[in-house]
Amino acid sequence: MTKQKTIIIVDDNKGVLSAVKLLLKNSFERIITLPSPITLPTVLRQEEPQVVLLDMNFTDALNTGNEGLYWLHEIKKIHPTLPVVLFTAYADIELAVRGIKEGATDFIVKPWDNARFIETLLKACSQASKGRKKKEERTTSAMYWGTSTAMRNLREMVKKVAETDANVLITGENGTGKEMLAREIHTLSNRYRHNMVTVDMGAVTETLFESELFGHKKGAFTDAHADRAGKFEAANEGTIFLDEIGNLPYHLQSKLLTVLQSRSVVRVGSNEPIPVNIRLICATNANLDEKVMQGKFREDLLYRINTIHLEIPPLRERREDIIPLAELFIERFSKQYDKGKMTLSETACRKLQQHAWYGNIRELEHAIEKAVIIGEGGILTDMHFHFSKKIPMQESAMETLEDMELVMIRKAIDKCNGNLSAVAAQLGITRQTLYNKMKKHGL
């Protein structure tokens, strides 16, 4: 029989610990025994156990099992997929069922049958092993992580965060791949079998905000011809990704906060709360701390969405990833446009390396697609890449207020991907004023 690697046994009875350790010596390579669960979180972070055998009671004269359930939850916070077998001296089916409903894999009743005892623990290990194998099969990454230190650190953080239900805030410039990172987190999470629903907060009109996100009842307003579930309900058991959360108008932020606090939605035209079990991921290219200081973003909402903060570095700060990314895009587009095998010349590589890439990965992707389309002969040279001189706002030569206004409008349009409602909201003006200014500047 092949030995499993590590088991952690938590029980305040030293006699039980000794007996179990002796019983399992042929089944596990390492047997870690703890007389108290107090040090369990530290041990879990240091070790990689295949299973935990957890006693249900640790306080004399207190045999409710609540201590075991508490520590079960603590284990799941650290390792959501780690099998936990409950160890109880009382054959309380109701307590056992409750424990399994709350995340335990199985339970063992004291006094135990040796053969069944070993079988239960090995079965828990086997189920976890199958789960890990299935997870490996479905987690082929769509992201190119690259070799830069910043991206390696980001990847390690994502691995730790993905299996939890912690709210995540992803920040970074336009085009850095915030939505792709959100999808990566969802794919690596325990919710991967369910939907990830994406909402562009800059594209949701204020009048339809509640209907789009929380749903509506038939007859709630003129065009409400039938009951309709909102985005939060559609994401139930899965992940909801709120892109460009910084574009959400201040007066609507309280409505979102209420839903996140209560984990329930009330459809427009109804008074009945509907529970939603979602994992929240948000993204923005804005500085939300600055927006809080300016009174444009609620501080309590920022705390709620920002349990874990992930920052994607701009492409110009990880130049070692430019050519590998370019080659991936060349492979994709050469197949898409039936161009055969295509490669970059040395001059093309130098040109790509020297470019500022203020549009980040999205700009690189578009540049490669265009080059592949117009390229012939299998080699892409520097002549296939033409970049307009794009100067970031802070470096622009702005001599008049009109120059500054023009640059600000252009930058806002670029940030909001042409969504004029979002542009107007970001600039703090009405859509009509924005139209007038765009006409004045010939935009």
Q: Is the pLDDT of residue 146 over 90?
A: no
Phi, psi of 313 (to 5 degrees): -70, 150
What is 161-311's CATH topology?
Rossmann fold (3.40.50)
Q: What is the mean pLDDT of residues 355-362?
A: 90
* Confidence label for 310 from pLDDT (cuts 50, 70 and 90): very high
Contact 269, 217 (CB under 8 A): yes
Q: What is the mean pLDDT of residues 327-348?
A: 92
Give Cβ neighbours of residue 75 (< 8 Å, ≥ 6 apart).
Answer: 40, 44, 52, 54, 82, 84
Q: Check if 161-311 and 316-384 are the same fold.
A: no
Phi, psi of 191 (to 5 degrees): -100, 10
Could you report the per-residue pLDDT of 318-334, keeping only the tens digit for each? 999 999 999 999 999 99
* Confidence label for 395 from pLDDT (cuts 50, 70 and 90): very low
| DSSP letter for each residue of 376-419 | -TTEE-GGG--------GGGS---SHHHHHHHHHHHHHHHTTT-
Q: How far is CA 355 from CA 86, 251, 331, 365, in A?
A: 59, 41, 21, 13
* Confidence label for 134 from pLDDT (cuts 50, 70 and 90): very low
Rg (CA), the chain: 28
Q: Which two three-digit tokens encode residue 284? A: 């923005």
What is 393-440's CATH topology?
Arc Repressor Mutant, subunit A (1.10.10)
Could you report the per-residue pLDDT of 61-78, keeping only the tens digit for each? 455 667 788 888 888 888
* Confidence label for 101 from pLDDT (cuts 50, 70 and 90): confident
Could you report the per-residue pLDDT of 20-44, keeping only the tens digit for each? 999 999 999 999 999 988 989 889 8
CATH architecture of 4-138: 3-Layer(aba) Sandwich (3.40)
- The region, left, alpha or beta by phi > 0 then psi within -120 to 50, assigned to residue 89 is alpha
Give residue 421's pLDDT: 78
Q: Is the pLDDT of residue 417 over 70?
A: no
| DSSP letter for each residue of 163-176 | TS---EEEE--TTS
Q: What is the mean pLDDT of residues 424-438?
A: 79
Give residue 96's pLDDT: 67
Give residue 418's pLDDT: 67
* Confidence label for 346 from pLDDT (cuts 50, 70 and 90): very high
* Confidence label for 197 from pLDDT (cuts 50, 70 and 90): very high
Q: Is the pLDDT of residue 182 over 90?
A: yes
- The region of weakest confidence among 182-196, 257-271, 340-354, 414-428 is 414-428
Give residue 56's pLDDT: 82
Give residue 125's pLDDT: 86
What is 316-384's CATH topology?
Helicase, Ruva Protein; domain 3 (1.10.8)
Total Cβ atoms within 10 A of residue 292: 16
* Confidence label for 393 from pLDDT (cuts 50, 70 and 90): very low
Q: pLDDT above 90 covers what percent of the chain?
A: 43
* Full-model pTM: 0.60
User: Can you give the residue ranges of every domain in the chain?
Assistant: 4-138, 161-311, 316-384, 393-440
Which position has the higher pLDDT, 421 or 27? 27
Amino acid at 45: R
Contact 46, 79 (CB under 8 A): no
Which stretches does DSSP call E strand in 222-357?
Answer: 239-243, 264-266, 273-275, 279-284, 308-311, 343-344
